[in-house]
Amino acid sequence: MTRRIEKVAVIGSGIMGGGIAALCASAGIKTLLLDIAPFDLTDAEKNDKKAKNRIVQAGLDAQLKAKPAAFMNKNVDLTLIELGNLTDDFDKLGDCDIIFEVIVENLKIKQDLFAKLEKVMKPGAIIASNTSGLPISQMAEGRSKAFKEHFLILHFFNPVRYMKILECIAGPETSKEVCDFVSKWGEQTLGKGVVWGKDTPNFIGNRIGVELICEAFKLIEKGLITIPEADALFGKPMGMPGTAIFGLADFVGNDTIDHIAENSYELLTKDEYREIYKTPKFFKDMMEKKMYGNKTKEAGGFYLSGKTPDGKKFKKVLDPKTGAHIDFDMKATYPLVEATKDFKTTGEKMKHVFKNNEFARTLLSSMCVYSANRIPEIADTLVEIDNGMKMGLCMGIRTIRNVGQSRT
Ligand code: NAD
């Protein structure tokens, strides 16, 4: 069968759906973007298409304003994107070659959508869910054999345009032809790096990444290192961007980290690291105070940035002992970070930090052992985990190979 993607559909125009639509349109593909009609329409608005498309329009507008830019070209041909709502325009899904489901992370709502979708989609169309962790078998429950053969998870990371990774998870019945096709299409047309994972909780990137973050929480609670020093060590010296660990948690959303950690604790009952997913009190307190990170500007997260009444910029950091944000020296230098500048390669820098810092040693050892022990549970080889970390958590280097490969 010769498959061509001439038109895609994206259902859900939130952070991820909007981002996927922007990516597809940037690749020159006709894109149908749908979302729910608002629940609070007045009687007068019930026949007003503009009012019914309010949510999807807001989704597109958010992408047009996104910083960094979600579209690859400022002058993107917006006629490539057709907006609609799920009440009036559902049948338009019938001529789409691939349909991305990018709606709220709720199994029942997704299952209901797939049941409706099965009635209108054209034979052979691919259906891809962007779920962060719902099992493929449960999402496809009750669907036909043909549906299941064309159904898989294509998990983009946020921000969609910039995160290289595309985690692909096939179900037991997904056809090989569909898997081979999406791998090639994802890489060649969307410019992504494909990583095949398995249908296990939180797949690869989030499973390993959140283990690392939760372990870091424990070490911070023990007082092994301060948050700014931990981030300084795990930035450039480790081949990661400056957001490192705690800045990254603020960027992703501490509520999302909390959700993944809780979900892991609940589902991974036989996981030898299960207790790590029980986050410490200071983090639970942060969740109570809605300190979700960059998205909660006033409350902040691990960091709090803002301007004083006289217009001066400030940045504070969380003191895990008191739960308050305190001043810190943003220009502080750390001897070990400075020492890494003498080494040329990231591998050498990492080894130096590993040898000389207990926090880094404990954290990296824990992540490497955890990763090694996840084969073949979450992936067939370490290569997928390495690629997942490299492309999904911005680790600029192959962590496991640089630090060592012992399996304990
Ligand atoms: P979001 O809240 O930004 O968007 C969710 C969309 O679902 C909204 O457009 C909303 O209008 C729509 N929606 C709400 N109720 C609906 C219903 N009953 N029927 C149909 N649509 C409905 O969420 P998001 O972050 O874009 O997440 C969407 C999916 O992507 C989820 O499955 C999430 O787990 C996954 N995901 C999120 C991220 C992330 O970092 N945010 C990363 C990877 C995957």
Is position 2 within any domain? no
Number of domains the chain is built from: 2
294 Cβ inside 6 Å of ligand 1: no
Q: Encode burial over 85-108: b for 16+ CB neighbours within 10 A, e otherwise.
A: bbeebbeebeebbbbbbbbeeeee
Domain at 316, CATH number: 1.10.1040
What is the Å distance from ligand 1's center to 14 Cα? 6
Q: Are 193 and 211 found together in one domain?
A: no
User: What's the order of all strands across the beta sheet hosting 313-319?
Assistant: 303-307, 313-319, 324-327
59 Cβ inside 6 Å of ligand 1: yes
What is the Å distance from ligand 1's center to 65 Cα? 19
Closest CA to ligand 1's atom 42:
157
Is position 363 within any domain? yes
Residues of the domain holding 159: 7-197
Q: Which pLDDT score is estimated for 398?
A: 39
Last residue of a domain, one of 148, 177, 197: 197
**Terminal CA-to-CA distance of the chain, rounded, Å?**
46
Q: Using CA atoms, how far apart are residues 317 and 214, in angstroms rounded to an integer?
A: 18
Q: Are 110 and 225 found together in one domain?
A: no
What is the Å distance from ligand 1's center to 103 Cα? 4
User: Comparing C-alpha atoms, which of 96, 140, 94 is closest to residue 115?
Assistant: 140
Domain at 163, CATH number: 3.40.50.720
pLDDT (tens, 9 = 90+) of the chain, 408 residues, equals: 789 999 999 999 999 999 999 999 999 999 999 999 999 999 999 999 999 999 999 999 999 999 889 999 888 889 999 999 999 999 999 999 999 999 998 999 999 999 999 999 999 999 999 998 889 999 999 999 999 999 999 999 988 998 999 999 999 999 999 999 999 999 999 999 999 999 999 999 999 999 999 999 999 999 999 999 999 999 989 988 888 999 999 988 899 899 999 989 999 999 999 999 999 999 999 999 999 998 898 999 999 999 989 999 999 999 999 999 999 988 889 999 999 999 999 999 999 999 999 999 999 999 999 999 999 999 999 999 999 988 887 643 334 444 443 322
Residue 308 tokens, joined: 């004083």
The reported pTM is 0.88
Last residue of a domain, one of 197, 232, 264: 197
**Most informative mutation of 33, 35, 103 for ligand 1 (most atoms within 8 A of CB):** 103
E-assigned strand segments in 29-160? 30-35, 81-85, 98-101, 126-129, 151-156
Helical axes 254-267 vs 205-221, angle rounded to 10°: 100
- Helix segments in 30-174, DSSP class H: 49-52, 54-65, 107-120, 136-139, 145-149
Is position 113 within any domain? yes
Q: Which pLDDT score is estimated for 394?
A: 62
Q: Are 220 and 316 found together in one domain?
A: yes
